[in-house]
Amino acid sequence: MSILVHGETSVVCQGITGRTGTYHSEQALAYGTKLVGGVTPGKGGSVHLGLPVFNTVADALEHTGATASVIYVPAAFCRDSILEAAAAGVELIVCITEGIPVLDMIEVRECLRRTGSRLIGPNCPGVITPGECKIGIMPGSIHMKGRVGVVSRAGTLTYEAVKQTTNVGAGQSTCVGIGGDPIPGTTFSEVLELFEQDVQTEAIVMVGEIGGSAEEEAAVTIRQQVTKPVVAYVAGVTAPKG
């Protein structure tokens, strides 16, 4: 098993025809991710990377049956893109874009509570279950199917944790980058609870950063709800003034 994504997870890409969307969609397809279509308003009916392009997420889901979406659109449009995906009934939304205004994320977070969709990100590398499904920008080559769940707020430190668990032969069950923004779609605690319930995950690596209370809240979750071994690292010593 794994958490969030697996080999049968079908994905649509919002912003697939843009430069970033095109590049990372190519990488996802090469990895074996079941990418079934894309969404770009005004380009519905066209074909890109051999995949159908739709004007709306609702149309994409109707024709492809996708259960997940990945968002590569400019920050100014991310709020609308996330809300559109949630309204269409996408189960898992992964938003890679950074720089989304905090007020936009407050509205998004409240909407997600009502719809039941789960958001990973924003400002994150994505989520990957090695050998099965890669949604986001992480390099697939360093991952190896295994038994360690990785959850991280950092960017490149995520890859360092992954590479080390690969080098020692432990591998990863699933790797989740929750993003470093003040209001994440999914918290450390929520991912820790998922790993605790996953039979494939035997241990957990958590990489945090200074600033905010997410790591302290995760510590409470670990103490009260997690029975599996957890290795946690919080990067940084002091935050700049202001």
Average pLDDT, the chain: 96
Domain count for the chain: 2
Does residue 122 have a cis peptide bond before it, meaning omega lies within 30 degrees of 0?
Answer: yes
**CB distance 123 to 155 below 8 Å:** no
- Domain of residue 160 covers 126-235
What are the pLDDT digits (tens) for 159-190?
999 999 999 999 999 999 999 999 999 999 99
pLDDT reading at 67 higher than 70: yes
* Residue after which a domain boundary falls, among 64, 96, 120: 120
Query: Are 112 and 134 in a shared domain?
Result: no
Query: Are 110 and 133 in a shared domain?
Result: no
Q: What percent of the chain has pLDDT over 90?
A: 92
- Predicted local distance difference test score (pLDDT) of residue 28: 98
Q: 98 in a domain, yes or no?
A: yes
- Predicted local distance difference test score (pLDDT) of residue 242: 61
Query: Are 48 and 109 in a shared domain?
Result: yes
- Predicted local distance difference test score (pLDDT) of residue 238: 72
N residues, the chain: 242
CB atoms inside a 10 Å sphere around CB 150: 27
Q: Residue 180: which residues within 8 A CB-CB, separation 6 or more?
A: 123, 124, 153, 154, 155, 209
Interval 194-210 mean pLDDT: 97
What are the pLDDT digits (tens) for 78-137?
999 999 999 999 999 999 999 999 999 999 999 999 999 999 999 999 999 999 999 999
Q: 186 in a domain, yes or no?
A: yes
Can you give the pTM of this predicted structure?
Answer: 0.96
Q: 2 in a domain, yes or no?
A: no
What whole-number distance in Å separates Cα of residue 110 and Cα of residue 200? 32
Query: Are 132 and 159 in a shared domain?
Result: yes
